[in-house]
Structure 1
Amino acid sequence: PGYRILAADYSQIELRIMAHLSGDAGLLAAFHGDQDIHRSTAAEVFSVPLADVDAQQRRAAKAINFGLMYGMSAFGLARQLGIGRGEAQDYIARYFNRYPGVREFMDRVREQAHQDGYVETVFGRRLYLDSIGSRNQAQRAGAERAAINAPMQGTAADIIKRAMIAVDHWLAERAGEARMLMQVHDELVFEVREDSVESIR
């Protein structure tokens, strides 16, 4: 009693990191214009005006945005969306047509991972990929997916951990008003004294 739970999160942090790392003009413009990136992708993939994007199209675009970032194949996307493989391949082609810098970034990272055996986060933390040169196609493909994904997920993890340190110092100056309870993915959860909710928020 006398306390409330407060949560703060980063909005679409991994997609923002993808925009930064890839330098893709379309992705950067969408974020700089404060657009809903999933609606923006849906408008492109489904060839409809932004204002006409419906909830189902946005949901599909969200699956495409995150799925491709994690190395999802046309088969995986088709299964997730309940559509044919050809249709899923068409969505992927339209996505990369809209955001060509993303494909170029993925190709560069894959090539660099094969060359160096590791990838790095923005902060220089390395993920070594033991299976990147494997003769086993499934192991090699898994390592390539990890190579593409790790710079985004790893950088997001680095950012949230740095934020936790900064917020912890900030909270120490406000003894008793709030405390950090936990981190869940890109979200920090706090227990805040009721009379401090507005000042902490």
Structure 2
Amino acid sequence: NGTDIHRATAAEVFGVKPEDVTPEQRRQAKVINFGILYGMSAFGLAKELGTTRELAQNYIHLYFTRYSAVHDYIEKIRKLAHKQGFVETAFGRRIYVPDINDRNMQRQKAAERAAINGPLQGTAADVIKRAMNTLDHWIIKDKNHTHMIMQVHDELVFEVPEAQLDHTIKKIREYMTHAFELSVPIVVQINHGKNWEEAH
């Protein structure tokens, strides 16, 4: 529904109204969202937030109380990884975690974090590659002199003739939004400028 998930989490964790969330609270909520989702411990979260382990543990408790389905998902993936030695993206691509049953607990915990992270970031990687492939075919077919320059995580950088900017932005948004149909919309933000810095 277009809700800012980091703002919503900040409101829950810090006990304020969404409209009263400060930029710093939103930044911390973003760390909490991604950190917990990717299996970060209270120690790791405390280090990232610059706070105490006790307070970080409290954030984790509040998060899982509010988003219990996330906790269930993490436990399901952890057990699955221990059982079969791999996890899968939404496209069925396997991500192996060879240290998942290692006797060394440090290696095992690192493998668990990789297993939890794998389906999420792995699916995101699959989606961006599918979008890149579709866009490449469109650029060749359209013959509009647009060039896909590079990928930076979940971002694509293009060189586009100014005369074709509006048309190209429309097409890029269309193809990226529909790269993979999910139960939630894929939101695409597009900026442009004379150089990469200006576009940001």
State the TM bucket, normalised to the shorter chain. 0.7 to 0.9
CA shift, 1:38, in A, is 0.4
Structure 2 counterpart SS, 1:110: helix
Paired residue for 1:138, among 100, 106, 116?
106
Paired residue for 1:179, among 147, 159, 181?
147
Q: Distance in 1 between matches of 2:49 and 2:82?
A: 31
Alignment of 1:179-198 (within 5 A): 179-198=147-166
- Percent of residue pairs bearing the same amino acid type: 55
Unaligned runs of at least 5 residues, structure 2:
170-200
Q: Distance in 1 between matches of 2:53 and 2:94?
A: 35
Paired residue for 2:77, among 106, 109, 113?
109
Aligned to 1:22: none
2:43 paired with 1:75:
yes
Aligned to 1:25: none
CA RMSD of aligned residues (A): 0.8
Q: Distance in 1 between matches of 2:129 and 2:40?
A: 27
TM-score (norm 1): 0.82
Q: Distance in 1 between matches of 2:108 and 2:89?
A: 20
Answer yes or no: is the 8 Å Cα contact 2:144–2:164 preserved in 1: no
Letter in 2 for 1:91: Y
CA shift, 1:173, in A, is 1.9
CA shift, 1:121, in A, is 0.3
- Deviation readout 1:27-51 (Å, 9 max, x if unpaired): xxxxxx2111100000111111111
Following superposition, which runs of at least 4 residues in structure 1 exceed 2 angstroms of deviation?
none
Q: Distance in 1 between matches of 2:4 and 2:132?
A: 26
CA shift, 1:174, in A, is 2.0
* Matched length: 169
Structure 2 counterpart SS, 1:132: coil
Aligned to 1:163: 131
TM-score (norm 2): 0.83
Aligned to 1:63: 31
Aligned to 1:99: 67
- More strand per residue: 1
Q: Distance in 2 between matches of 1:106 and 1:44?
A: 20
- Deviation readout 1:47-82 (Å, 9 max, x if unpaired): 111111111110110000111122111111111111
CA shift, 1:177, in A, is 2.8
Instruction: Select between 139-148 and 73-82 the one with higher mean Cα deviation.
Output: 73-82
2:81 paired with 1:122:
no
Q: Distance in 2 between matches of 1:58 and 1:134?
A: 37
